[in-house]
Each structure stands twice: as C-alpha cells, then as structure tokens.
Amino acid sequence: MNVAKALHQAITSRSEIEPFSKKGVVIGTDEAYDLQDELVALLDSPVVGYKLGLVSKAKQIQMKVSEPVYGTLTAAMEVAPEDPVPFAELIHPRCEPELVFRIGDDIDATEHPVTASEALAATAAVTGGIEIIDSRYQAFAFTHTDVIADNTSAARYVLGTRWAHPAEVDLGLLGMILEVDGEVVASAAGASLAGHPAQALALAANHLGRRGQILPAGAVVLAGGMTDAVPLKPGMSVAATYASLGSVTVRVPR
C-alpha cells in the first residue's frame, strides 16, 4: 500500500481513513518522516515552515501520544485572519492556540544540536496564531508513526498580525486565553511548550538537523498547541488572545 498516496487521497476527497497501524503496517519513525515528505511533495505547494505537535502535556494527554512530532507547513495552508475557516474543505477540523516564530537567520543543526538560546537568537519575530488541524484518520485517533506520516494533522493555520522581537516578550510567562463563542474555555502560558517555547523551537531545528536539513531564514514555526484542541462546528468562533501579541479569531461559516 502506498501510505502517502492514501493520505493525499484522504485530503483531496475529504474522507477519513483507517490508521495504518491498525492495518498491520509497521513503520519506524524515520520511515514515517520519509512518508510525510512524500505526502508534502504530493501537496504540490511551496514549503514555508514547520510545526511541532504534541509538545504540551494538555495535547499529549488529549491525543494519547507522549512524544513531540514535527510537521511541514505549505503556502496553501495559510488562512488570512479575516477569512472564514474553509470548513467544507476539511474532514473533522479542530483548532488550537499556538505561538509562532519567524526565523531571521538560518538555523543549522546538521552538525550538532542547537540550544534554546541559540534558536531564539536566530529568531526575527514572534506572534500568536491558531492552528487548524484535521487528522486524516478515523475519529482523530492514531499512533506516533501514523500521525507523523499524516504530516502531524496539518491542515490550515492563521498567523497573528502583531509581531514582537523575542527580546521584547517573556515567552515562558506569556499568557494566552482561549475563548469559544465569547466564553473562556482554557488558558495557558508559553512554558506549557517543553518548559519554554524556545526549547520547542530548538527541538524542531534539531529534528530537521537530524534529517540533514536546516531551518531556513524566513520560515515560520508553529510551536505546538498550548491547550486541548477544540472541535470546530458550523457557526463557531474561536479566539486566542496573547499577552502583548494581540488576538487571533477563526470563524466557521454557518
């Protein structure tokens, strides 16, 4: 079975599929990332960044996978802040609040791993955003390697419009509140991400380094959901408000 082709078909036909682990397909982590690269190539849109997943305890508990995963963002996945969520193009989307890095200088961890402070020193700016994830698997249930092959459920993302230099904000203490239809449903701080968002960024750079790739200047990196993901429903509005970085809202058409 061609795993990447089956996942791509699930995306284009907006239909969920059975996880490969359930079909007796046994793959290792490296192979799962190779399959992700194959899937991303099939998406046929320029790579503009990367994402982390399953970084916060909240997400690890919700998804029952306790190790971070790394995914790839393409240009076609970006949704402008004022645009409605393209609900009809998705299977069973959920959204989650995420801090976002814009890389200023190439981060090269191909020779040796970088530290959180080295990664932060190469960061041009940070903002808050919302990721819209959409597992291609039935009931949003998967193993570690299933979700890696599925490009870590990446579907769409919205970036905030207020960017700060990382030295201007205390990323670990940076607070966020999440509201659904005007009601606060969750809150978190940057430290929910691997102890500090810069630590999450270093994890992503080091993952790419192990795969012989750099994290290039200009790339955006979504640092991982800070809270449980919220299933989107028609008519719903979800807002994430970040200390000193403003607010991002996604609206689902009725």
Q: Does 194 bind ligand OOG (CB under 6 A)?
A: no
Instruction: Please state the closest distance from residue 69 (CB atom) to ligand OOG, in A.
Output: 7
| Chosen from Mg ion, ligand OOG, none, partner binding at 153 (C-beta under 5 to 8 Å by type) | ligand OOG
SS3 content of the chain, % helix, strand, coil (to 5): 30, 30, 40
By CB under 6 A, residue 151 contacts ligand OOG: no
Pick out residues in 81-120 that bind ligand OOG (CB under 6 A): 96
C-alpha span between 11 and 135 (Å, rounded) = 9
97 near Mg ion, judged by CB under 5 A: no
Q: Does 71 bind Mg ion (CB under 5 A)?
A: no
Query: How far apart are alpha carbons 189 and 45 in whole angstroms?
Result: 33
Q: What is the identity of the amino acid at 228?
A: D
DSSP type of residue 67: S
* 131 touches Mg ion (CB under 5 A): yes
Using the rule CB under 6 A, give the single segment among 80-88, 129-137, 182-190, 238-246 that binds ligand OOG.
Answer: 129-137
Query: What is the rounded distance in angstroms from the CA atom of residue 36 to the CA atom of residue 152?
Result: 9
Residues 225-254 binding ligand OOG (CB under 6 A) are: 225, 229
- List all residues 6 or more positions away from 248 whose beta carbon is below 8 Å from its beta carbon: 81, 97, 128, 129, 130, 158, 159, 160, 239, 240, 242
Per CB under 6 A, residues contacting ligand OOG are 51, 53-54, 59, 63, 96, 131, 133, 135, 147, 152-153, 224-225, 229
Per CB under 5 A, residues contacting Mg ion are 131, 225
